[in-house]
Amino acid sequence: MLGAYLTTRISILTVLRLFVALDAAALIYWFYFRRRRAVRPAWRESRTPLRSLADVMLAAGVVLLLSALWLTMLGALTQFGVTDARTADWGALAASGFLVKPDQPVAFGARSLVVAAAVWVVGFGLARASGERA
């Protein structure tokens, strides 16, 4: 609840930077610290490169889906007038090179959701194609 309130009061560029930092931290934890902590049986062989790529794509897809969902909700709050143009400066995001129309921020969030879902689906397909179990 506090996070939702704060993201409606700070600049959209700051929110996007926060998402990038949180996504990177989640992926670092998932692929580095989590693997070192887990105890693995000695008989288990290593994963194939295809399965390793699938794991990266699946984890990245989930992280991107959560961030894109949050951006979509923030865009909806902007369009419904909960946030104002001063805090949710979608024009600054457009000036930074993102394909966002300041008057239609939900469309940007929806496109982000589609891209994130595509990353997850590709990861799921690669996992199935590898033939290995998780």
Q: Residue 122: its pLDDT value, please?
A: 93
Distance CA 49, CA 89 (A): 42
Tens of pLDDT along the chain (134 residues) come to 666 666 666 777 777 788 888 888 887 877 776 666 655 555 455 678 888 888 888 888 988 898 888 888 888 888 887 777 667 777 777 777 777 777 788 888 889 899 999 999 999 999 888 877 75
End-to-end CA distance of the chain: 34
Which of 91, 110, 111, 92 minimizes the C-alpha distance to 101? Answer: 91
Q: Residue 44: its pLDDT value, please?
A: 54
Q: Residue 67: its pLDDT value, please?
A: 85
Q: Residue 91: its pLDDT value, please?
A: 76
| Domain range enclosing 23 | 2-38+46-130
Rg of the Cα atoms in the chain: 18
**Number of structural domains in the chain:** 1
